[in-house]
């Protein structure tokens, strides 16, 4: 177990390096010389050469990657081309907002998905099973950015119950746990939750159905255990796998919330990415993608380790 | 001489049996699909949509680019404009039908490309094993370290707006999962007896792959690829929705949804129409893929 832990952590290092390399290459595949993004097109040649030397752009690509990596490891993601501020200062506040949205969506998706999937797996072939399967397929087939618009039409435009955009008074800077702020979270979180809802429903249904077919469940029933008692046993058996799926979904939502954030003008990483794309602000694009991908790598590692620790049936050496 | 003919005759019989067997398999699949009402309805809807968007220039009542400032944002059911008009006074029905062309093209092309490239690499990794396998699979792991939506947006964001850039980005996103599926089914087939027998009889690696491996692995990989079309459709339109795929005034469902966003306070039900098209298409592709999976009895 201990050796597995060490090996798994060590394995994450080359992956993280390779992810860094892909992020580094993003700027290289972008059309045009990266230098044009830093100096104005009519700058004199001496200035261009000077800047090239300062940024290390005259070095061969592997050396450039090394230089870039050194800076990133020290927490220096460069400066935004549009605002001149360090990338990290814009990014740090945006990440908190995205994490809040993704966590809320995961929680909603997890609760509904577990209940629907659990019921469907227990009562196979009944109407509740059909309902669960249908909503799971709909959940993964629906373009969530469109669902967001439909929810805005219904709950903001027609009924006027909930705000259509933003993160409440004061923008992204001051979030508070009161209704004035929370009401802004409702629609984006519900919109984003349909994806994990569909996937969790499918997973839980499959796992529960498989467990219910095992002999120990029959044995538990045979010895006269109540429905509730059997249920607890099933939950205990299903939990590690379901938690693993949910953990990864949180990571997917962190990276995938850009469309929903755009619909609701939610001040997170997605909105940041969106504006970076339009201003061709490559440092912001690169920094945001790097941080989100690293978060995903770390989450993958964490989920793997927690799953191993939780489930005594997984013996990894 | 006579032994050769006998052997040939024997081979012919075997070949005929093989053909009969495979016909039996496909007949069985067709029989099962035909009984599956949901799959049949969805397949019919998709076929109908395909025909309509194929014939778009001949059946649409208006010009998809010709707007009119005095007929902007008319509601659904307006005379002469069955589904209303958009923010520039262009006929919605016409633009939805024309828009399907690009949406379908951008939703399906990346999956086809990724299927071709991913199957080649995955079968190579699975069949050759060793160092080739390690190189291909470890590279795949790196792309798995990105959430798929993020990777698509990162690549097309760096490359800039454009249909081809979006298709390239989506192809890169869908290659790794196809490689993983192809590698795992190929590894499963590689260790079966008939592959050993073929190798013992002196067949080259290429022949073994072509004759013995592909026939057994293409089915599962194909089914998996069809399940990706739905995701790809949503992502492709999503890229256009962000302004990364098609450029205005080109009709495309995701882009139309984006430009109509400002109209949700004026004509909310007209504004959400393009999204409904994406939803129906994606749902039908998903259900047809599920139906095919059951009918072809593919596990996983």
Let me know whether A47 and A152 are in one domain: no
Q: How far apart are CA B9 and CA B11, in angstroms?
A: 5
CB A193 within 8 A of CB A139: no
CA distances from A267 to A91, A109, A185, B118 (A): 10, 22, 11, 37
Helix (H, G, I), strand (E, B) or coil at B138: helix
- Interface contact flag, A282 B278, Cβ < 8 Å: no
Geometric angle at alpha carbon A188, from B239 and B107, rounded to 5°: 25
pLDDT, greater one: A59 or B179: B179
- Interface contact flag, B272 A153, Cβ < 8 Å: yes
Q: Tell me: ipTM over 0.85.
A: no
Q: How many helices (H) and strands (E) does chain B have?
A: 13, 0
Contact partners, residue B187, CB within 8 Å, separation at least 6: B126, B129
Report the gap between the CA of A210 and the closest CA in chain B (Å): 14
pLDDT at B229: 92
Half-sphere exposure (Cβ direction) of B78: Cα atoms closer than 13 Å: 19
Let me know whether A105 and A174 are in one domain: yes
Let me know whether A129 and A194 are in one domain: yes
Give the Cβ contact number of residue B5 at 10 Å. Answer: 9
* Omega within 30 of 0 (cis) for the link into B249: yes
- Has residue A11 been placed in a domain? no
Chain B residues close to A143, C-beta within 8 Å: 234, 237-238, 254, 275, 278-279, 282
Give the Cβ contact number of residue B156 at 10 Å. Answer: 27
Q: How many domains does chain A have?
A: 2
- Interface contact flag, B155 A251, Cβ < 8 Å: no
The domain limits of chain B are 96-300
pLDDT for residue B116 is more than 90: yes
CA distances from A173 to A97, A170, A189 (A): 10, 6, 19
Let me know whether A246 and A147 are in one domain: yes
For B17-55, the pLDDT digits (tens) are 655 555 677 788 888 888 888 888 989 999 999 998 888
Let me know whether A59 and A28 are in one domain: yes
Let me know whether A151 and A230 are in one domain: yes
Let me know whether A254 and A134 are in one domain: yes
Q: How many helices (H) and strands (E) does chain A have?
A: 12, 0
Per-residue pLDDT of chain A (317 residues; tens, 9 = 90+): 677 788 888 888 888 888 888 888 888 787 766 666 666 667 777 877 877 777 677 777 788 888 888 888 887 777 777 777 888 888 888 888 888 888 889 999 889 988 888 888 888 778 888 888 888 888 888 998 889 888 888 887 778 777 777 766 655 556 666 666 777 788 888 888 988 898 889 888 888 888 888 888 888 888 878 878 888 888 888 888 888 888 888 888 887 788 888 888 888 888 888 888 887 778 888 888 898 888 888 888 888 888 877 777 766 55
pLDDT for residue B66 is more than 80: no
Report the gap between the CA of B124 and the closest CA in chain A (Å): 23
Residue A32 is part of which domain span? Answer: 19-73
| CATH label, B96-300, candidates 1.10.3720.10, 3.55.40.20, 2.60.15.10, 2.60.40.1180 | 1.10.3720.10
Q: Which of B38, B134, B158 to mutate to probe the A interface, most A CBs <10 Å?
A: B158
Q: Which two tokens stand for residue A73?
A: 């490891």
For B252-299, the pLDDT digits (tens) are 888 888 888 887 787 788 888 888 999 999 999 999 988 888 888 765
Interchain CB contacts (distance < 8 Å): A and B: 136
Let me know whether A41 and A112 are in one domain: no
pTM of the model: 0.84
pLDDT for residue B174 is more than 90: yes
Let me know whether A25 and A132 are in one domain: no
Residue A217's H or E segment, with its range, is helix A215-222
Let me know whether A50 and A98 are in one domain: no
- Has residue A2 been placed in a domain? no
- Has residue A83 been placed in a domain? no
Chain B residues close to A262, C-beta within 8 Å: 241-242
Mean pLDDT of chain B: 83
Chain B residues close to A251, C-beta within 8 Å: 147
The dihedrals phi and psi of A124, each to the nearest 5 degrees, come to -65, 140
Rg value, chain A, Cα: 24
Report the gap between the CA of A193 and the closest CA in chain B (Å): 15
- Has residue A183 been placed in a domain? yes
- Interface contact flag, A149 B142, Cβ < 8 Å: no
Nearest by CB to A296, from B145, B243, B268: name it.
Answer: B145
Q: Which two tokens stand for residue A27?
A: 């700027």
Let me know whether A160 and A238 are in one domain: yes
- Interface contact flag, B244 A297, Cβ < 8 Å: no
For residue A300, the domain's CATH number is 1.10.3720.10
Residue identified by tokens 């702020």 is A181
Q: Which two tokens stand for residue A151?
A: 């929810």
Confidence of residue B300 (pLDDT cuts 50, 70, 90): very low
Let me know whether A54 and A136 are in one domain: no
pLDDT for residue B7 is more than 80: no
Give the Cβ contact number of residue A30 at 10 Å. Answer: 18
For A78-135, the pLDDT digits (tens) are 777 777 788 888 888 888 888 888 888 999 988 998 888 888 888 877 888 888 888 8
The dihedrals phi and psi of B66, each to the nearest 5 degrees, come to -85, 110
């Amino acid at each position: 177990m201990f050796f597995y832990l060490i090996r798994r952590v060590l394995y994450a290092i080359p992956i993280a390096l390779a992810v860094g390399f892909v992020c580094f290459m993003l700027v290289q595949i972008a059309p045009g010389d990266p230098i044009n993004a830093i100096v104005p097109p009519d700058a004199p040649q001496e200035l261009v050469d000077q800047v090239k030397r300062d940024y290390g752009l005259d070095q061969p690509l592997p050396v450039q990657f090394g230089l870039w990596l050194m800076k990133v490891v020290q927490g220096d993601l460069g400066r935004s081309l549009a605002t001149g501020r360090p990338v990290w200062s814009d990014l740090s506040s945006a990440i908190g907002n995205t994490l809040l949205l993704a966590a809320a969506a995961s929680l909603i998706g997890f609760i509904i998905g577990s209940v629907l999937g659990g019921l469907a797996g227990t009562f196979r072939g009944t109407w509740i099973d059909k309902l669960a399967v249908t909503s799971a397929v709909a959940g993964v087939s629906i373009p969530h950015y469109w669902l967001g618009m439909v929810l805005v039409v219904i709950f903001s435009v027609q009924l006027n119950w909930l705000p259509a955009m933003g993160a409440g008074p004061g923008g992204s800077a001051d979030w508070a746990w009161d209704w004035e702020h929370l009401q802004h979270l409702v629609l984006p979180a519900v919109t984003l939750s349909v994806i994990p809802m569909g996937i969790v429903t499918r997973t839980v249904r499959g796992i529960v159905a498989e467990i219910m077919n095992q002999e120990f469940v029959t044995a538990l029933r045979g010895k006269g255990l109540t429905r509730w008692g059997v249920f607890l046993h099933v939950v205990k058996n299903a939990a590690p796998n379901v938690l693993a799926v949910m953990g990864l979904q949180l990571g997917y939502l962190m990276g995938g919330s850009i469309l929903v954030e755009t619909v609701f003008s939610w001040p997170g990483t997605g909105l940041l990415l969106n504006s970076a794309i339009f201003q061709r602000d490559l440092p912001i694009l690169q920094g945001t993608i790097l941080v989100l991908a690293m978060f995903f790598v770390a989450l993958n590692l964490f989920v793997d380790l927690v799953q191993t620790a939780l489930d005594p049936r997984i013996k990894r050496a | 001489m006579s032994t050769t003919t006998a052997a040939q005759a024997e081979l012919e019989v075997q070949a005929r049996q093989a053909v009969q067997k495979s016909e039996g398999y496909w007949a069985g699949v067709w029989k099962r699909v035909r009984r599956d009402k949901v799959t049949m309805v969805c397949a019919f809807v998709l076929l109908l949509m395909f025909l309509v968007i194929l014939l778009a220039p001949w059946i649409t009542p208006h010009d998809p680019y010709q707007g009119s400032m005095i007929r902007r944002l008319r509601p659904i059911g307006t005379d002469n404009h069955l589904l209303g008009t958009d923010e520039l006074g262009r006929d919605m029905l016409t633009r939805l039908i024309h828009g399907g062309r690009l949406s379908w093209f951008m939703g399906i092309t990346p999956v086809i490309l990724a299927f071709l490239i991913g199957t080649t690499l995955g079968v190579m990794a699975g069949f050759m094993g060793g160092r080739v396998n390690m190189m291909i699979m470890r590279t795949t792991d790196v792309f798995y370290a990105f959430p798929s939506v993020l990777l698509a947006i990162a690549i097309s964001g760096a490359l800039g707006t454009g249909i081809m850039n979006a298709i390239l980005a989506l192809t890169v996103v869908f290659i790794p999962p196809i490689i993983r599926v192809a590698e795992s089914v190929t590894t499963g087939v590689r260790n079966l007896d008939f592959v050993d027998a073929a190798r013992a009889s002196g067949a080259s690696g290429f022949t073994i792959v072509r004759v013995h491996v592909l026939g057994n692995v293409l089915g599962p990989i194909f089914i998996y690829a069809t399940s990706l079309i739905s995701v790809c459709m949503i992502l492709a339109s999503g890229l256009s929705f962000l302004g990364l795929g098609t450029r205005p005034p080109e009709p495309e469902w995701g882009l139309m949804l984006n430009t109509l966003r400002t109209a949700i306070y004026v004509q909310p039900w007209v504004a959400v129409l393009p999204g409904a098209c994406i939803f129906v298409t994606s749902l039908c592709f998903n259900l047809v893929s599920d139906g095919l999976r059951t009918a072809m009895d593919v596990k996983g």
